[in-house]
Structure 1
Amino acid sequence: MRRTILWLVISAPMCRAPMAAQLAAAPAAPTPQISSFTVQAQAAAQGSTSSAAPQLPAAGLPQRLTLQDAEAQALRNNPQISVARLLLLASGQVTREQRSAYFPNVTASLTAVDAQQGSRLAAGALNNPALLTRAAGGMAISQLITDFGRTANLVAAAALRARAADMNAAATSAQIRLAVEEAFFGALQSRAEQMVAEQTVKARQLVSDQITTLFQNKLRSELDVSFANANLAQARLLLLDAQNNYQAALSRLSEVMGSVGQQPIDPVEPQAEPNAPPSSTAELEQQAFHNRPEIAAQSYEYQAERRFQNAERDLLLPTISALGVAGQAAAGSSLNAVPQFPTWYGAAGVNLNLPVFNGFQNVARWREAGFRAQAANEQLRDVKDRIANEVRTSWLNAVTAYNRIAVSRQFLEQSNLALNLSQARYDLGLSSIVELSQAQLQQTQAQIQFAAATYQYRIAEAVLRFQAAAP
């Protein structure tokens, strides 16, 4: 008995063609009465062409887009790249601001005063109270001679922060490249899943039509028709989700590329095959420590905080500066026909400012800068620990994704075999529609996982390359 059943299962695929020919040649049997439930199920499975269901927006002629073209367009148009570059330029101007203390400060003044003759300024600051009518113009110049290193430390701190901004711009570029790769391969994966869903709809539509014909010839039950139509409706739901996911993936790719609206694009499959992941993470971690711009940026921030701490310490030291004024009085008051102002004036001198006491403000600023420098050092250590963990985690994800390719291929092969055997058993009447439906569902899942496995590994490979700062 077992040998007979085994022979029937194996020979079932060869018997499908004769069975189909016999079914086509057989006279049309009287159509049995179909319940309203079956009619509704068939209508839902077939879908009405006259229904006004909303459709996804139809795109124009798609433009073929390679991964390299997408990265170039993103680096050119993405606003985050522009933000990073503008912040870098702003940091360079801060360095120039601090360096300006090395240069003389020159101001020009024009003064015209009409005062009551002989009046005096009775309230206000401690200055010469005499108010004299005059009109004069002159210039004043001041030059810092030395502040015992404070300006030098401020300039160095600003330059280090500019280098940190440069590294942040490089990190932003690397993040944009990673986002482009994730969006690009995500779009390819969604398109592959959509193709699987379309093939699934076609296959289940064929099965539904065959079972409906067999039911009309009293060779299958109404339950078989209901299961077949339910499987078809499930496949159409899968297709709707796949179409939506593909359009969403294209929208995400357009956003990363810096496009205002979604562009009609057609991602091109890369020709190069993905490489196997490295065997260990030790070399990847060292490479990340040397090449990751985030580590370099935080290191520059720590050095800048140290130099700023030294600059705050220098507030306790004196400053020496030179002053000079010169000008000419075009008109002025006179007393007893004697002019009160000479025709020109000029003076020069050296000023020494020595801080004595300001409520311990300078000491508090020095200590505050020291604490911030220590915090920056701890942040640098935290960045290194986080990057090391991200390298290890991304390597594990890449290894798992690479192994999933072979496993998903085996899963698909076994699912195809199981579906063929289930179809053969169902054609011979040895199993129910439930077993066939389960085999169809399993095959669909296997096809989707196999279609996604390669692109998931490409995404994992891109993440690993980003975390390790590999070229």
Structure 2
Amino acid sequence: MTQKFIALVAVLTLSSALSDLNAQSGAQTATPLTLQQAEQIAMKNHPRVFAAQYNALAATQVVREARSSYFPTLQADVTGSVADHNTRLGAGYLSSSQLFNRFGQGISLDQLITDFGRTSNLVASSRFQAQAASDDAQATRYDVLLAVNQSYFEVLRSQALLKVAQTTVSERQVVLDQVSAMVQNKLKSELDLSFAQVNLAQANLFQIRAQNNIKIAQAELARAMGQQNPEAYTLAEQPLPSPPPETADPLVAQAMQNRPEILSAQASRDSAYKFQRAERDLSLPTVVAEGDAGVIPLVAQLTLPRLIPDHYEAAAVNIQVPIFNGHLFAARRQAALMRARAADEGLRDTQGRVARDVRTAWANAVTNYQQIDVATKLLNQAKLALALAQGRYNLGLSSIVELSQAQLNETEAEIQEVNARYDFENQNAVLQYQVGLLR
């Protein structure tokens, strides 16, 4: 049973060695990549960035739609009709009742003179909505940048943990070889050998998981950069950021000025109030000028000479004054007011959420920064304890259990040291994002 277990450990070790060779071979052809380059690639490739830009551009066209009321409307008509002699219209709306055979063509021109502010308020509302869409596009870009930062640091973390796993496998292989020699010389028991074999098997499992985590992290990075297929990159290490400020208050103040979500909510609120004013102006008169001109080359007449002119020109000014429509305008005005007040509360909620997120990110960043020094000290102590345990074991003053525990403590300390460093890198990116400085 022991020989089978040793053979299994040997196979796992050989497999890990071959994987390392393959990884090193792939690393030689990998493209160097910095965090700034990864962000630039994401801005050029990510579909969410393009979708947000297109939505923002679409919102600018709504402004043109609203401004179209300022310009005249020109249309051409060509009309021909055939009717029985001396027939008349007898149903439908009030209109010219006479029907006659004719063919004519002409143009009509309509121009809004004034609607007492409704169109100007609609234009202002659409402009604020376009600004909100632009801010939403900026928020999307920030989201993509945060995802790039997080996935970038996750790849670096996974690579660092793989190095820890490889070192752990090497160290425990040395211990296994040492214990095996002692067992052969009758200096240690089979129990010591079993413990050493178990420790090496655990290290190999740790290495396999670390290799898998690298593949997952690389896939996440490719997705964050907008790439369909992961490419081989050699990531550059980033310098450790400076510690967070002592309080979160200045960061909250910055976030209120920088966060695109707040700017978008403010623009949406302003748009809602402009639209409410436009709905209020529905009750005011509308003044429109109209002009018509054309020719009638053919008119059916029973007598000659022709009495109807072969051309026509006309102009008019129409003033439409709303009097009563079943309280439709009042309901629309009140509904717009309620939506504007809801936008007020939405802005207040966004500001509160951003302030909470900034304080949470700041607290996490402070904690993670403090953990770096503690984790470094823990690692140094664990290395010292392992050296002492190894010496005691070699002298026969302790059991394999004490040495195994020291090895486990060192491995856990190395993992915590790596996690502490990259947790702070990641949380610092989150803090910059929450403040609105991750650009």
Measured against the shorter chain, the TM-score band is: over 0.9
Distance 1:50 1:219, change over 3 A: closer
Indicate yes or no: 2:6 matched with 1:39: no
In the TM superposition, residue 339 of structure 1 has moved relative to its aligned partner by 3.8
- Code of the residue aligned with 1:389 in structure 2: it is R
Indicate yes or no: 2:77 matched with 1:113: no
Q: Deviation digits for residues 286-308 of structure 1, max 9, x if unmatched?
A: 11112222111111111111110
In the TM superposition, residue 49 of structure 1 has moved relative to its aligned partner by 8.9
With 209-218 and 118-127 compared, the bigger mean Cα shift is at: 118-127
Distance 1:50 1:445, change over 3 A: closer
SS of the residue 1:266 aligns to:
strand
- Code of the residue aligned with 2:363 in structure 1: it is L
In the TM superposition, residue 244 of structure 1 has moved relative to its aligned partner by 1.0
The counterpart of 1:278, out of the listed 245, 264, 267, is 245
Cα distance in 2 for residues equivalent to 1:157 and 1:282: 33
Distance 1:309 1:48, change over 3 A: closer
Q: Deviation digits for residues 196-231 of structure 1, max 9, x if unmatched?
A: 011111111121122222222222222212111111
Checking the alignment, whether the CA contact within 8 Å between 1:174 and 1:466 is kept in structure 2 is yes
Structure-to-structure mapping, 1:283-362, within 5 angstroms:
283-339=250-306, 341-362=308-329
Cα distance in 2 for residues equivalent to 1:48 and 1:146: 84
The counterpart of 2:65, out of the listed 80, 90, 97, is 97
Aligned partner of 1:410 in structure 2 is: 377
The counterpart of 2:394, out of the listed 404, 423, 427, is 427
With 420-429 and 93-102 compared, the bigger mean Cα shift is at: 420-429
Aligned partner of 1:250 in structure 2 is: 218
The counterpart of 1:235, out of the listed 203, 222, 226, is 203
Structure-to-structure mapping, 1:118-157, within 5 angstroms:
118-157=86-125
Checking the alignment, whether the CA contact within 8 Å between 1:317 and 1:355 is kept in structure 2 is yes
Indicate yes or no: 2:415 matched with 1:453: no
With 410-419 and 332-341 compared, the bigger mean Cα shift is at: 332-341
Cα distance in 2 for residues equivalent to 1:295 and 1:357: 40
Checking the alignment, whether the CA contact within 8 Å between 2:79 and 2:105 is kept in structure 1 is yes
Aligned partner of 2:352 in structure 1 is: 385
The counterpart of 1:72, out of the listed 40, 45, 56, is 40
Aligned partner of 1:17 in structure 2 is: none
Cα distance in 2 for residues equivalent to 1:181 and 1:242: 20
Q: Deviation digits for residues 95-135 of structure 1, max 9, x if unmatched?
A: 11000001011110111223333333344333223322221
Q: How many residues align?
A: 432
SS of the residue 1:47 aligns to:
helix
Cα distance in 1 for residues equivalent to 2:19 and 2:171: 23
- Code of the residue aligned with 2:415 in structure 1: it is I
Indicate yes or no: 2:354 matched with 1:374: no
Aligned partner of 1:436 in structure 2 is: 403
Cα distance in 1 for residues equivalent to 2:68 and 2:271: 18
Unmatched 5+ stretches in structure 2: none
Checking the alignment, whether the CA contact within 8 Å between 1:281 and 1:395 is kept in structure 2 is yes
Cα distance in 1 for residues equivalent to 2:416 and 2:308: 95
Aligned partner of 1:469 in structure 2 is: 436
In the TM superposition, residue 444 of structure 1 has moved relative to its aligned partner by 0.6
Indicate yes or no: 2:235 matched with 1:267: yes
Checking the alignment, whether the CA contact within 8 Å between 2:107 and 2:292 is kept in structure 1 is yes
With 151-160 and 272-281 compared, the bigger mean Cα shift is at: 272-281
In the TM superposition, residue 469 of structure 1 has moved relative to its aligned partner by 2.2
In the TM superposition, residue 449 of structure 1 has moved relative to its aligned partner by 1.1
Cα distance in 2 for residues equivalent to 1:306 and 1:122: 48
SS of the residue 2:108 aligns to:
strand
Checking the alignment, whether the CA contact within 8 Å between 2:240 and 2:425 is kept in structure 1 is no
SS of the residue 2:381 aligns to:
helix
SS of the residue 2:390 aligns to:
helix
Query: Normalised by the size of structure 1, how large is the TM-score?
Result: 0.88
- Code of the residue aligned with 2:110 in structure 1: it is S
Indicate yes or no: 2:361 matched with 1:394: yes
With 362-371 and 118-127 compared, the bigger mean Cα shift is at: 118-127
Checking the alignment, whether the CA contact within 8 Å between 1:188 and 1:269 is kept in structure 2 is yes
Checking the alignment, whether the CA contact within 8 Å between 1:157 and 1:308 is kept in structure 2 is yes
Q: Deviation digits for residues 290-329 of structure 1, max 9, x if unmatched?
A: 2222111111111111110100111111111111111101
Cα distance in 2 for residues equivalent to 1:349 and 1:437: 100
Query: Normalised by the size of structure 2, how large is the TM-score?
Result: 0.94
SS of the residue 1:352 aligns to:
strand
Checking the alignment, whether the CA contact within 8 Å between 1:41 and 1:230 is kept in structure 2 is no
Unmatched 5+ stretches in structure 1: 1-35
- The structure whose Rg is larger is 1
In the TM superposition, residue 430 of structure 1 has moved relative to its aligned partner by 2.2
In the TM superposition, residue 338 of structure 1 has moved relative to its aligned partner by 4.8
Q: Deviation digits for residues 338-376 of structure 1, max 9, x if unmatched?
A: 546420012111111111222111111111111111111
- Code of the residue aligned with 1:93 in structure 2: it is Q
Checking the alignment, whether the CA contact within 8 Å between 1:333 and 1:341 is kept in structure 2 is no
In the TM superposition, residue 403 of structure 1 has moved relative to its aligned partner by 0.7
Cα distance in 1 for residues equivalent to 2:399 and 2:137: 63
SS of the residue 1:320 aligns to:
strand
Aligned partner of 2:189 in structure 1 is: 221
Instruction: Calculate the aligned-residue CA RMSD, in Å.
Output: 2.0
SS of the residue 2:229 aligns to:
coil
SS of the residue 1:84 aligns to:
helix
